[in-house]
Amino acid sequence: MRILLYNPDNGVTRNFMPHLWMFLLEALTPSDHEVLLIDGNAQPMDEAGIARYVREQNIGLVGIGAMTRMIAKAYRMADAVRAAGVPVVMGGPHVTEMPDEALGRDGGTRHADAVALGEADETWPKIVEDAVHGKLKDVYAPVDEFGQEKKPTLQPYPSIPWNTINLDQFNLVPKPAYRWLKKLGGGWGTFRVIPVESGRGCPYGCEFCTVTGFFGDSIRFRTNESVVKELLLLKARARSEGGQIAVFFIDDNFAINVKRTKSLLRDIIAANAQVFWVAQISANLLRDEELLDLIAAAGGRWIFIGMESIDPTNLAGVNKGFNKPGEYAAVLERLAQRNVFAITSFIFGMDNDTPGVAERTLQQIRTWPAGLPIFGLLTPLPGTPLYTRLKDAGRLTRPKHWQEFIPFTMAHTPLKMTIPEAHAEVLDGWNRSYSPEAIAQAVQSLDHKPLGYRINILVARLFFRGIYFPQMGPWAWLKVISQNRRTIFKLVREGLGVRHDAPLRSPDSLKSQGETSQLPQLLRHEVRHR
Ligand code: B12
Ligand code: SF4
């Protein structure tokens, strides 16, 4: 049977990274079936397109996975596939919380023939087998022989064949630059960010988060050996095709067990399996200096920190009192000393927020080392304690907000500001953090660091800007480049101390920390130190 795994686009931004679930399920599919992957963020497709595709490719089963924010599109695509006579199974966080919606048991349209609840690592082969025999059940739940919920151990973990998977749709080097960069040599013909998980689960139970409910509070890890093997495979692939691969460790809290994280990082270093990587770690776990040294030495370059708010009352209100705003600055300084930078994520519209929250937050951010601040609104995702609390209090203004997804628009009224005021705060946060002046300032604040770091923060800021301000397509990009031309020219001028005969170098060949480049450093030349 030919199986299509499809992840819809979010309609707002292009994802910089493919979705792990697709590769994982592909690796777990019995070998007598052929699996095709389409990520709508990289390969846009509409309803007519997917119906045509499943007919032309003779697809026997379509698996669709989606977060809440893409679920309306997922349902439309599922409807088109089913109308073409091909069965659809849906999985992922949204349908796990709302299976009746997908199955049409809530009085609405049925979108899926079957729904896979929770982690599908063990149910997927059974789903495929049932589909082959035309006997799909409505619901597949990960349970043991006694009907008790059963979480996959991650030991063993399937090996994803990164050396053979077709990753063409996930190359971040724009096509026009591709041939030029490839010719130039030095390993920048392709650049991909690849998701890798080293463990699952987070016991912290923040009120707005799906993770604790979905993965359970039992934390499970892969063996160090299996993670290291995967990194080596990715590294070998990048080298063999003259490109670069960076890894996003998608664990919700990569250092949730500090002892184990240190041991993994030591093994990565010992095996020379370093690639540049990003990971999500909560601020309270970044106090340990040895952990930070190991992160830097093992290839860690960006750490995503869910700071959420600088107001302890807000944090306590969403069960995230373990975040201590008083220590944010010290945490970021410690990272920056090791040339590791932070993506700091904030949520506005919390119950204690009042107008002016963006400016108050920015005042703090300006005192921190340059990083990548991002701003969102408190969103009641289905299945979270936040959803239940707001629903019980009658505060949901759009109880099924996912049916009509509107980016950066709240689905409930905050207590101390209005919905438009909350949105205005988010706009203010993005505007003031990603204006050409703010970008120039961030770059300038790294003047004491080698050129590579400044190029890194510039490129990262230009990309991150796109999370809020749509910049799809060449014209949008030209506009952004033109607005930031002063900062770009400044760095180019500095780079003219560059040896033009020197090829672009890969991170592998960089020796000292000071010279180690970071993620999107496509423009890097060898700098002649004067
Ligand atoms: C990586 C990640 C991202 C990436 C993007 C996704 C990507 N390219 O991988 C980035 C960083 C961009 C991102 C952004 C956002 N994310 Co995010 N993200 C994650 C994260 C940390 C890991 C996802 C992952 O790969 N997990 C590991 C795989 C193995 O698990 P899985 O995807 O759930 O798949 C398993 C099952 O669900 C199931 N399954 C999944 N799909 C399918 C399909 C079929 C057919 C079947 C049978 C089974 C199946 O089988 C898999 C194996 O067991 C999750 C949290 C988490 N730990 O999952 C949050 C998570 C998915 N994100 C979340 C959110 C809310 C967001 C944002 C909306 C945040 C924001 N406010 O901006 C944005 C929106 C992104 C967008 N583009 O629209 C929520 C989603 C909740 C929900 N109900 O939708 C999660 C769960 C985190 C949370 N705090 O609650 N995210
Ligand atoms: S620490 Fe992060 S992953 Fe864990 S519950 Fe809180 S928001 Fe979710």
User: Do residues 341 and 301 touch, judged by C-beta distance below 8 A?
Assistant: yes
Q: Is 291 in the pocket of ligand 2 (CB under 6 A)?
A: no
Measured in Å, residue 386 CA sits from the centre of ligand 2 at: 13
pLDDT band at residue 60 using 50, 70 and 90 as cut-offs: very high
pLDDT per position as a tens digit, 136-176: 999 999 998 898 888 999 999 999 999 888 888 788 777 76
- What type of residue is 327? E
Measured in Å, residue 205 CA sits from the centre of ligand 2 at: 6
pLDDT per position as a tens digit, 365-397: 999 999 999 999 999 999 999 999 999 999 999
Measured in Å, residue 125 CA sits from the centre of ligand 2 at: 30
Measured in Å, residue 91 CA sits from the centre of ligand 2 at: 21
How confident is the model at residue 213, as a pLDDT?
A: 84
Measured in Å, residue 93 CA sits from the centre of ligand 1 at: 7
User: Do residues 350 and 381 touch, judged by C-beta distance below 8 A?
Assistant: no
> Residue 32 pLDDT more than 60?
yes
User: Do residues 120 and 187 touch, judged by C-beta distance below 8 A?
Assistant: no
- Find how far residue 313's CA is from the centre of its chain: 28
Q: Is 252 in the pocket of ligand 2 (CB under 6 A)?
A: yes
User: Do residues 368 and 328 touch, judged by C-beta distance below 8 A?
Assistant: yes
Task: From the CA of 252, give the closest atom in ligand 2.
Answer: 3
How confident is the model at residue 470, as a pLDDT?
A: 79
Q: Whose CA is nearest to atom 8 of ligand 2?
A: 209
Q: Is 253 in the pocket of ligand 2 (CB under 6 A)?
A: yes
Q: Is 82 in the pocket of ligand 1 (CB under 6 A)?
A: no
Q: Is 93 in the pocket of ligand 1 (CB under 6 A)?
A: yes
Over residues 319-333, mean pLDDT: 96
Over residues 452-473, mean pLDDT: 86
How confident is the model at residue 526, as a pLDDT?
A: 27
Measured in Å, residue 366 CA sits from the centre of ligand 1 at: 30
> Residue 227 pLDDT more than 90?
yes
How confident is the model at residue 337, as a pLDDT?
A: 95
Q: Whose CA is nearest to atom 23 of ligand 1?
A: 250
Closest CA to 515 of 529, 498, 502, 496: 529
Q: Is 345 in the pocket of ligand 1 (CB under 6 A)?
A: no
Region of 356 on the Ramachandran plot (φ > 0 left; ψ -120 to 50 alpha; else beta): left
Ligand nearest to the CA of 380: 1
Measured in Å, residue 67 CA sits from the centre of ligand 1 at: 6
pLDDT per position as a tens digit, 343-363: 999 999 999 999 999 999 999
How far apart, in Å, are the Cα atoms of 518 and each of 136, 249, 265, 393, 500?
Answer: 47, 16, 18, 46, 21
pLDDT band at residue 511 using 50, 70 and 90 as cut-offs: very low
> Which of 98, 210, 346, 468 best tests ligand 1's pocket when mutated (most atoms within 8 Å of CB)?
210
Closest CA to 301 of 268, 276, 274: 276
Cβ neighbour number for residue 55 with a 10 Å cutoff: 13
CA angle 289, 291, 296 (to 5 degrees): 95
DSSP H helical segments within 29-87, as ranges?
47-56, 71-83
User: Do residues 486 and 425 touch, judged by C-beta distance below 8 A?
Assistant: no
**From start to end of 129-288, where are the E strands?**
139-140, 191-196, 199-200, 220-221, 244-249, 277-280
Which own/partner contact pairs does 521-525 have at CB distance under 8 Å and 24+ positions apart? Answer: 521/452, 521/455, 521/456, 521/459, 522/173, 522/177, 522/181, 522/188, 522/191, 522/459, 523/455, 523/459, 523/495, 524/451, 524/452, 524/455, 525/495, 525/498, 525/499, 525/500
pLDDT per position as a tens digit, 235-293: 999 998 888 899 999 999 999 999 999 999 999 999 999 999 999 999 999 999 999 99
For residue 474, what is the enclosing H or E element? helix 474-483
How confident is the model at residue 524, as a pLDDT?
A: 30
> Residue 180 pLDDT more than 70?
no
For residue 421, what is the enclosing H or E element? helix 419-434
pLDDT band at residue 500 using 50, 70 and 90 as cut-offs: very low
Q: Whose CA is nearest to atom 6 of ligand 2?
A: 206
